[in-house]
Structure formats: C-alpha cells, structure tokens
C-alpha cells in the first residue's frame, strides 16, 4: 500500500487568524497553501471573502484562489477533486500541502473521502452525505441500527461514513481516510473573536467592500457567489429598503453567527485540537505539533 500523503489543515471560525498562520507554517516547513474556503474561489471577490492579499500570496504559493468567475457555481465535489489534484502536485514537489479554511463540509469531505472510487456517482454520494448531515445524532444512530451496521464507539462522523459505505460500496479499503492529516484548530475567547469580526468588517468597508457588493447586486444578483455573508446583507440597502448602518450591522451579526456555526461543526463533526490564539506561546506550540507530525 502506498504511503499516505501528509497534509496540515488549519481551520477555525472566521477572522481568527487562519490565513496568517498558514503563511507562517508554509514558510517554516516548506509548504504550499490550498484554500479551503467556498467563497475565495471567486475572481473579484477579494475584500468580502478576506482573501489573502497579493502581498500575502507572494509569501507562499496559494492554490484554489481565483479559480471561478462570480457567475459560476462551486461545490464540495469540485473542491475535493481540485484540492486532491493540488495535494498530489504539491507532494510531488516535495512540499507540504497546507489547507487553510473554514468551510466545514468541504474539509470533511476531502479528509474523510466521500469519493469512494470505482463507478460511483460522486455527486450522488455528496447529495446523500448532505442529506445525512441534516439528521440528528439519534436519528443517525437509529439508521445504523436499522441497517445492522457494526460500528465500534459510534459517533456522528462514523455513523455517516458507515451509511455511505453501506449504500455505495462494499470495499473495506474505502473506510480509510485518503490522507494522513493533522488538524489544527484556531479559536479565541468569544468576546475577543467577536471584536475581531466587528473590526474586520469596519476595515473591509474602508477597503471598498461596498463596491464589491454593488457589482454583485447590479450584475450577478442571482449567482451563488452573491449569497455569501458580506454581500447579500447590502442588497436591501441598494434597493432602497434599509440604510447603510443597518446593512453593516447585519454583516457583523451574520459573521458572528457564522463563526459560532463553524465552531459547532468542527467540534461536533471533526476531531480537532484547538489552540487559543490569545494565549502566550500558541504559535510555538502549533509549530512543535507540526514538526512532530512531519517527522
């Protein structure tokens, strides 16, 4: 069996500092960064998606940024396919793939592998996974029992994976994750994180977020990209239904709520070691963990 590719994954809520840490790790360990964000794939949406700046991208190679026009769609299936290709290329160059992002479904789908191989319809697998993700923990357990599946130490993640395999594959090898990965979760105390989020929105407004949102409103109103947080909240303002202060407040509120949902996803559905960015020695501890993992 071929040796699995080692990858480092930096994840966490919006505005916690994932981009900066990814660059630090890439420089320290000879890595290349793959964006794990569902909105940063769009060209022209730089401010509202908190995309790494041109200066930041010059500090380390970045992948899966600016790979779609704003009127195109992008799915978890697209991400898994394109991220897998990037991982292979990076590893072939002798570099460490470092995935940086906060889109939970994308990261989980890549790391746990819904692409089961063979003649399986990958879109069908993803649709089934998204259906299972909507179920409660108890409903998933009941389904596992109904299917008479044997799962040691059952949890939500294992239940979903077993049900996928039951429906789409009998190949036991497919139960193995496709990569050897280290999950690094970033977090901060709630007040500090919410302050980070509010401040970032203020900075985005100064940098021209309103112009990006207006372009979507005028030319790509029905696009998938226009539904992203940081853009859709301005549409009532452009339509003359709300004032600008109300729109900005909604961006901040929705961003804070999104951060909470992200943390819930990572804590409940992925086995993550979290580091508190406000604590002394946080970065050094993370570097030590990455160093041990690579060795």
Six-digit token string for 244: 């600008």
Which residue positions form the known binding site? 12-19
Q: Which residue has the tokens 């916690």?
A: 16
Q: How far apart are CA 260 and CA 282, in angstroms?
A: 21
Q: Are 176 and 282 in contact (CB under 8 A)?
A: no
> What DSSP state is assigned to residue 149?
-
Tokens of 174: 């497919």
- Of 75, 22, 74, give the one whose Cα is nearest residue 52: 22
220 Cβ partners below 8 Å, 6+ apart? 70, 71, 226
Can you spell out the DSSP letters for 77-102? HHHHHHHHHHHHHHHHTTPEEEEE--
**CA-to-CA separations, 293 to 8, 96, 172, in angstroms, rounded:** 9, 11, 26
Degrees, nearest 5: CA angle 3-8-10: 160
For residue 239, give every residue at least 6 positions away whose Cβ sits within 8 Å of its Cβ, in sequence order, or none.
Answer: none
In sign, the C-alpha dihedral spanning 152, 142, 270, 122 is: positive
Q: What is the largest CA-CA distance in the chain?
A: 61
Which residues carry a binding-site annotation for substrate? 14-19
Q: Which residues are within 8 A (CB) of 88 and not within 5 positions of it... i.e. 6 or more apart?
A: 5
Annotated binding residues for ATP: 12-19
Beta bridge partners of 273: 184
């Amino acid at each position: 069996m071929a040796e699995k590719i080692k990858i480092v994954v930096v994840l966490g809520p919006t505005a916690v500092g994932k981009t900066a840490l990814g660059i630090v790790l890439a420089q320290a360990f000879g890595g290349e960064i793959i964006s794990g964000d569902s909105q940063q794939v769009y060209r022209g949406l730089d401010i509202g998606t908190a995309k790494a700046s041109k200066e930041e991208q010059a500090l380390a190679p970045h992948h899966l940024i600016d790979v779609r026009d704003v009127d195109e769609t992008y799915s978890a299936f697209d991400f898994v396919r394109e991220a897998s290709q990037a991982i292979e290329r990076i590893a072939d160059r002798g570099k460490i793939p470092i995935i940086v992002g906060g889109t939970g479904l994308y990261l989980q789908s890549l790391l746990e592998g819904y692409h089961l191989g063979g003649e399986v319809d990958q879109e069908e697998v993803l649709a089934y996974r998204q259906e299972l993700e909507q179920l409660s923990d108890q409903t998933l357990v009941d389904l596992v029992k109904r299917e008479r599946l044997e799962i040691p130490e059952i949890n939500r993640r294992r239940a979903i994976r077993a049900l996928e395999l039951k429906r789409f594959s009998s190949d036991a090898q497919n139960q193995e994750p496709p990569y050897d990965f280290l999950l690094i979760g970033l977090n901060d105390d709630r007040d500090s994180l919410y302050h980070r989020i509010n401040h970032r929105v203020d900075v985005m407004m100064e940098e021209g977020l309103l112009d990006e949102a207006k372009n979507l409103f005028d030319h790509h109103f029905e696009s998938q990209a226009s539904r992203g947080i940081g853009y859709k909240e301005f549409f009532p303002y452009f339509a003359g239904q709300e004032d600008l202060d109300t729109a900005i407040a909604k961006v901040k509120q929705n961003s804070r709520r999104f951060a909470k949902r992200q943390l819930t996803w990572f804590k409940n559905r992925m086995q993550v070691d979290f580091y508190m960015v406000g604590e002394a020695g946080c970065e050094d501890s993370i570097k030590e963990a990455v160093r041990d993992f690579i060795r």
